[in-house]
Structure 1
């Protein structure tokens, strides 16, 4: 290998590292995420309540529409949910946006085996992500690889890996995804989600927050 070949390879390696470093910085900086917002959404996020729990919220944090998780815009949803792990096993969870209840976004979550499924309510009109986490979960200190999407996948979790890479390219400037998201037991997850939707359908807020 000649000098110029070695120099070129070193330059390329450094450039790749720089791209990953920039993506990681964006992934963990609400300030940078908020700077990318525009219009009415940017105004609502930047002037929203800076809190870990909404004032007047009641019910189970994250699990009830009356106590949603505060985050900063769609990027905040992307980041916060990618940091969640199951408390009992330490397993990563994967997600997509299942719908909306009023101004709240509703996310469905699962693990790689499909033995776990859940639903969480998120309020994205805040300047940062909550430091709290719902019962049954823990929250990693920082996000490393994205594990879900803020869009709806009709056949979730089928096609999730590619969808994550597409959203990561949009939000982070690089098409990355947690590799385990390509190994999810799709039939098991879909069967479990069907049961969840029948047993515990997403319900509208019955009364306003106090």
Structure 2
């Protein structure tokens, strides 16, 4: 008889305890400030760098084309690739407003900029050493030694320019890849949005 009474009392205690809310509750919620991670990449500085370096390359190539040291037709792909990088830099700056469609556009343009930068790297490397070899050969074996020296200087300048262009394109590729990484963290295109634990402490009023 006594045992049954004790068990009944224990069941009553369990039922009463289960009806109360716990003192500490742990829930998982989406981080509403995750978009601000994009600002950690310094998109304004990186975007301005993309625009500045691309315009510098465009101006330099235009000078070579104006002096008939490069053909305009052969540099049209370079112009297109460089303009794509300029557009990507502009979108990166505009994405500072943390508007989700703008961030997605930034992600897409930076991926395009990565491809454009890789194209410019290949183009610059292949053009190193390709500056009018037959013309310099004619000057070397002719009687115009002054023209031969000028031709070799132009060829050396051409090679140095394209070597520097390959370095600049590599830097632009690294900038685009960094912005892609930060955009992926914000847009969550590769994985679901991470959730952060939130601890809630319930305090009960003290009865007087």
TM-score, normalised via structure 1 length: 0.25
Could you say which structure has the greater relative contact order, defined with CA pairs below 8 angstroms and 6 or more residues apart?
2
- Of Structure 1 and Structure 2, which has the larger fraction of its residues in helix? 2
- Of Structure 1 and Structure 2, which has the larger fraction of its residues in strand? 1
TM-score, normalised via structure 2 length: 0.25
